[in-house]
Chain A
Amino acid sequence: DVKVTQSSRYLVKRTGEKVFLECVQDMDHENMFWYRQDPGLGLRLIYFSYDVKMKEKGDIPEGYSVSREKKERFSLILESASTNQTSMYLCASSLRLTGSEKLFFGSGTQLSVL
């Protein structure tokens, strides 16, 4: 069974903290993605990666960075957390970047920044 695992379901952090969100997939997928999901705004792409050590900005990369040192692991980093980064964060992986792409999502991390 395919699996995308996010390390935490719920996180509470303080403004200014450095925050790491971890994601691991066991499907040997090349492509991995980080989205945030907010009521009324839907899913928005933060960053994606199509290979180890490669990264591409999505629609809202400001305030975030990513790391992909191993194929199965994709980390999202909030360098200095702010209250407007309170959100549901979803990691996903897929086999191909173009064409009929099927995304597999993790269960999400609900991050609250106080």
Chain B
Amino acid sequence: QKEVEQDPGPLSVPEGAIVSLNCTYSNSAFQYFMWYRQYSRKGPELLMYTYSSGNKEDGRFTAQVDKSSKYISLFIRDSQPSDSATYLCAIEGGGADGLTFGKGTHLIIQP
């Protein structure tokens, strides 16, 4: 069983829409939850980081973690064409195993 599942998309939405990106995970030991954004032909960059269950907001972005369901989400409000990228969730258990990445969701925001 894969440890982190993420729908690869592509997910195409019109500009201004609310976007929901999701990951599920299987290992209840995971403690740290991150979202990376990767533009075409670039390396990933950290977008959001959260430790506990609940919501964390940063501008138009909200990261949500539900540890009981082993489900994490990234919401983008008022989406812009510049948000078009691949979004990777990354989860860490706090031990020496490092990060486990989802495969990424390719998001397209249509002008």
The reply on B108 being an interface residue by CB < 8 A is no
Chain A residues, Cβ within 8 Å of B36: 103
> Is the pair A40, B8 in contact by a Cβ cutoff of 8 Å?
yes
B interface, how many residues as a size bin? 20 to 34
Q: List 12 A-B contacts (CB under 8 A).
A: A4-B43, A40-B8, A40-B103, A42-B102, A90-B44, A92-B43, A98-B94, A98-B96, A99-B32, A101-B32, A103-B46, A108-B41
Given pairs A40-B8, A92-B43, A98-B92, 19 additional interface contacts (CB within 8 A): A42-B88, A42-B101, A43-B88, A43-B101, A48-B98, A90-B43, A90-B44, A97-B98, A98-B96, A99-B92, A101-B32, A102-B46, A102-B49, A103-B46, A103-B99, A105-B45, A106-B43, A107-B43, A108-B41
Chain B residues, Cβ within 8 Å of A90: 43-44
How many A residues touch B, CB cutoff 8 Å? 22
The reply on A41 being an interface residue by CB < 8 A is yes
On A, residues with C-beta under 8 Å from B are: 4, 33, 40-43, 45, 48, 90, 92, 97-108
Chain B residues, Cβ within 8 Å of A106: 43
B11-62 CB contacts (< 8 Å) to partner A: 32, 36, 41-46, 49, 51
